Structure 1
Amino acid sequence: MNVLITGGAGFIGSHVADHLLAMGCRVHVLDNFHSNYSREQKLLNIRSGMSHPAYYLHEGDIRDATRLTDLFRQNPFDVVVHLAALPGVQASLQRPDVYTDVNINGTRTLLNVMHQFGVRKLIFGSSSSVYGDHPAMPLQEDCQHLFPISPYALTKYKGEQLCRQYHEQYGMEITCLRFFTVYGPRQRPDMAIYQFLEAIRQQHPLTIYGKGTSRDYTYVADIVQGISKAMFRIDGFAIYNIGSGSYVSLRQLITLMESVSNQKALIIQKPDRPGDVAHTWADLTLSKQNLTYQPTTSLSDGLQQMVDWLASRNAQATLSYSS
């Protein structure tokens, strides 16, 4: 199978690429190496993939129709895994127009080029943020009246609508996957678990916002499992939750982090921030039934993997600096 992964040098995309290479796929990665975090970290993400003979890296932007046209003309893709997007709720509040341009217009450009070249199958990386502060828990894919409360969440919701439109108008087969708070090795440095673990390690204060919040935290290997299984079951148009199927409070999360780090956290409490959802919890009935998706990594085990990765990365950085 010949697969294109947009955003494939990022946190989730690089893990997906490694998994598909191990399955025997030819993997093409398109990434623009956006400056939201360092190019060096993204190159580290794809280091193992770059050494594989079936891995192909293409630098470019999903908004660039000419670049996409050249890429699709040269490569007969069987399926596209679309993960390229500007991420982050808080950053989207500061730059809503840029998020609209990248996440919505970029997705539309990709869909247009796919249609032009007859590539019919797409996995669209969506987000649990589309639910907003929905009162019905656990969150089900068919719940009525979604409440996206940030520009980022709105762009993901609009992306799903675009996918539905291209399915209905052009017969494209598209599966949208709503990811629930992903964490693990290679996580972006702006994400909470990364920042919290680093603050605990360095004994710096960590800031938490609001009270009584809870999240469905999902280890990246489980997200990759969901994407992989969905890739081989694309049929018509569908939306699935990909999460852990459980939730913990922010205070419980910090307690687990203290346990795996063997250090106490220094906490600064601040009021709620705009755009932050209070609670998420994925109902996995549909994804288990139709995709045979089954998360396997507990939060404590996943956090330990994250701590080990951070320790290894920091040791390598120290060695490089001293030499």
Structure 2
Amino acid sequence: MRKLIAIIILLFAINSYGADILYIAPFGGSFNGYAEQLLDGLKLSLNSQLTIETANSNDNLTKVLERKKSYVVVGPFFEQAAKAVIDQLCNKNILVILPFYKPKKVCGNVVFYGYDPLAAARQLSEKVCSINSGRIAVFYSFGKLYKKERDIFLSSLSYCNKEAEYVEAIPSFINLIDSFIKDFFGVEEVKKVAGITRGRVFRYTNHIDTLIIFAPQKVVVQILNLLDYYDIYPEDVLSVDEEVDSDLLKLRRSAIRHFGFVTPYYLCDNNNFVENYRQTYFADPTFASALGHDIGKFINFYLSGGKIDNYTDRNMLIGRLLFFDDRNWSVMTYKFVNYRQVRRCHKELSR
């Protein structure tokens, strides 16, 4: 009997050690889609001999980490859960990779390796600084993230001695955006031929050279449609977004010919990832699955004996990895996609 108990205890100890990688994400909630997509990309790129186990970030993470010992922890996504993990594992011999939350606490084993929308907004300001931007207007949606993107953009823009002449909040109700656009640009209908869109002629009084939009892409798509309808064509309409929305690809050429945006993931890049993902999961990869794929490649490097600051893969799906800074934060530049690439992507996906 004692021998049987000893064997059970030994087996329990072995099983409780856990897998090579522990992935902590918000499964089951409103962000479950992102959690699953990132996991799919992670599995696709990991070496086949590595094992991975999952945990819900809504669980008691102190108990989870005590019970599941791994060499690498990926996640959690958000601040409260991420802080709990950092507090427990800071400077331990376990690599912690955070895909969305950039920590303030400095730990030698904690790496931020993910998408930073504020860095994207900062990069957009650099783009505006590099062009003949003329009169600048900034539109932004209500919401904590969009306001932060707006503030970072405006602050960074001041470094090149430029400023936005207008900073306007977009109405929360989608059916009010038409009136917002007409009021802002001073649109007047000069001529109307009933029932024939082409017969409508508009003029407007507020001429903007560069329009910046911080909003969900469905809102950006609607604004682009309205600008095209009212024959309003700034020299540049610029935005930031996680990826290319299918509705954007369906816009008329005239609606997007002045449009460009900063994005961490572009579906129509030439790489094997998209095809491999489709063959494995029978769906198009998303921004989150591309991020998971990149993290998996980094884990392969790390667990094969590589050092963080020697990671040299500079052609990531989630952006272009430059280096890790003194806090072990990844430093990324993201892709700038213009209308030619959007049109090309539409043709590729329509085949």
Q: Which has the larger radius of gyration?
A: 2
TM-score (norm: length of structure 1): 0.36
TM-score (norm: length of structure 2): 0.33
